[in-house]
């Protein structure tokens, strides 16, 4: 009986929040997911790849032109770089006129190259436009979530801010905790629990917003301490969604924290104050600053 052998990738690293996970056994095809790769690589690497592809295809056609019997007019003898530059002019549909095809072979290759050049230009224009037009949220998440008293209840708190200071309507935040747990059958698995927030919606988010999750009897964090969260390899996931009124796009942002990022028995440093003329002043220089409860009481 014939067996099917699939081509599978080697082990590779995947970053999930602050964790590095090794994955192996999945079939990966670069060209099968070309759009995803092109949209997610950095801008410098994107342009380096484009330049490398541009030079490669022009070198390829220059070699093909060199196989013919003087297919291009006005090419200097023993100057193969002229074929390369003619290929660039043809691929870009520039055509200065000093070099042109003069044989059937030359016209055939030029026709193929022009068709490929138009196709490449269309793809490149679409990719660049999509990369520029893709909406990006400028949501600032505090470096450290904190657990401390709020309204006399132990509360998980996280501060976020809108860096653009524009209006984001229908803003919504969600908070999840991920814990490693062992089932009754002894199987280790990772479970996700949603943490209910005191206020998970903001009708008009423009400046800053502190999320509060009371750790009461209904909370998945109830009865857990820092040591237990470490054993469970806890991971906190915070998501944000809202409508940018200027662009009309839905904005999405996400931040992941591990258990070591959560500061216990801390409070955030106050960033709000009033100026002498009565205006509200927000000091984002202290946005990430936290104060231990002991130190706060001493102030």
CA-to-CA distance for 214 and 157, rounded, in angstroms? 9
Position 298 scores a pLDDT of 52
Examine the domain organization and report whether 239 and 100 are in the same domain. Answer: no
The helix or strand, by DSSP H or E, that contains position 296, with its residue range, turns out to be helix 293-298
Same domain, 111 and 223: no
Q: Is residue 101 part of a domain?
A: yes
Task: Return the residue matching tokens 């043809």.
Answer: 90
Strands 201-205 and 168-182: antiparallel
* Shared domain check, 182 and 270: yes
Q: Domain limits at 47? A: 12-133
Quick count: other Cβ atoms within 10 Å of Cβ 223?
9
Contacts of 153 (CB under 8 A, 6+ apart): 214, 215, 216
> Is residue 255 domain-shared with residue 151, that is, in the same domain?
yes
The pLDDT value recorded for residue 25 is 64
Rounded CA-CA distance 229/177 in Å is 10
Please check whether residues 116 and 215 belong to one and the same domain. Answer: no
Neighbouring residues of 228: CB distance < 8 A, sequence distance ≥ 6: none
With a cut of 70, list the residues of the chain below it in pLDDT.
Answer: 1-10, 12, 14-19, 25-32, 295-299
Task: Please give the structure tokens belonging to residue 265.
Answer: 């028995």
Q: Say if residue 290 is in the same domain as residue 146.
A: yes
Coil, strand or helix: which one is 282? strand
Q: Which pair of tokens denotes residue 203?
A: 């009708």
Of the three residues 113, 133, 153, the one that is the final residue of a domain is 133
Q: Could you tell me if residue 34 is inside a domain?
A: yes
On whether the CB atoms of residues 106 and 71 are closer than 8 A, the answer is yes
Report residue 40: phi and psi, to 5°.
-110, -15
Number of domains present in the structure of the chain: 2
Domain at 153, CATH number:
2.60.40.1400
Residue with tokens 């109830």: 222
Q: How far is CA 208 from the centre of its chain?
A: 23
Do 52 and 118 share a domain, yes or no?
yes
111 plus 259 within the same structural domain: no
pLDDT value, residue 238? 97
Q: Where are the beta strands (DSSP E) in the chain?
A: 12-16, 19-23, 72-73, 100-101, 139-141, 146-150, 153-162, 168-182, 188-195, 201-205, 208-214, 235-244, 250-258, 263-264, 266-268, 272-274, 280-282, 290-292
Residue 180: inside a domain: yes
- Which pLDDT does position 236 carry in this prediction? 96
CA-CA distance, 254 to 214, in Å (whole number)?
21
A 10 A CB-CB count for 141 gives: 20
Q: In the prediction, which pLDDT does 1 show?
A: 47
pTM above 0.85, yes or no: no
Residues 268/159, Cβ–Cβ less than 8 Å: yes
Whether residue 272 sits in one domain with residue 206: yes
- What's the pLDDT at 78? 87
pLDDT of residue 23: 72
User: What tokens does 219 get?
Assistant: 């909370």
Query: In this structure, are residues 142 and 119 in contact, taking their beta carbons and an 8 Å threshold?
Result: no
Residue 91 to residue 21: CA distance in whole angstroms: 43
């Amino acid at each position: 009986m014939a067996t099917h052998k699939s081509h599978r990738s080697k082990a590779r690293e995947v970053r999930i929040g602050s964790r590095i996970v090794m994955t192996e056994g999945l079939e990966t095809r670069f060209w099968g997911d070309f759009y995803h790769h092109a949209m997610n690589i950095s801008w410098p690497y994107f342009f380096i790849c484009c330049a490398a592809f541009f030079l490669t295809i022009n070198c390829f056609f220059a070699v093909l032109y060199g196989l013919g019997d003087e297919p291009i007019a006005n090419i200097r003898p023993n100057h193969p770089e002229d074929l390369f530059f003619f290929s660039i002019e043809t691929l870009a549909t520039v055509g200065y006129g000093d070099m042109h095809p003069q044989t059937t072979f030359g016209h055939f290759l030029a026709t193929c190259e022009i068709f490929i050049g138009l196709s490449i230009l269309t793809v490149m224009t679409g990719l660049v436009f999509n990369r520029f037009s893709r909406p990006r949220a400028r949501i600032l998440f505090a470096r450290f979530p904190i657990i401390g008293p709020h309204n006399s209840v132990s509360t998980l708190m996280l501060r976020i801010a809108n860096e653009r200071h524009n209006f984001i309507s229908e803003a919504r935040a969600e908070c999840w905790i991920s814990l490693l747990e062992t089932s009754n059958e002894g199987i280790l698995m990772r479970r996700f629990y949603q943490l209910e927030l005191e206020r998970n919606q903001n009708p008009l988010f423009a400046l800053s917003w502190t999320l509060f999750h009371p750790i009461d009897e209904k909370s998945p964090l109830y009865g857990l301490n820092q040591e237990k969260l470490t054993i469970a390899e806890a991971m906190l996931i915070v998501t944000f969604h809202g409508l940018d009124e200027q662009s009309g796009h839905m904005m999405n942002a996400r931040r992941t924290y591990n258990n070591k990022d959560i500061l216990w028995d801390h409070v955030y440093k106050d960033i709000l104050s009033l100026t002498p003329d009565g205006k509200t002043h927000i000091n984002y220089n202290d946005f990430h600053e936290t104060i231990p409860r002991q130190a706060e009481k001493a102030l």
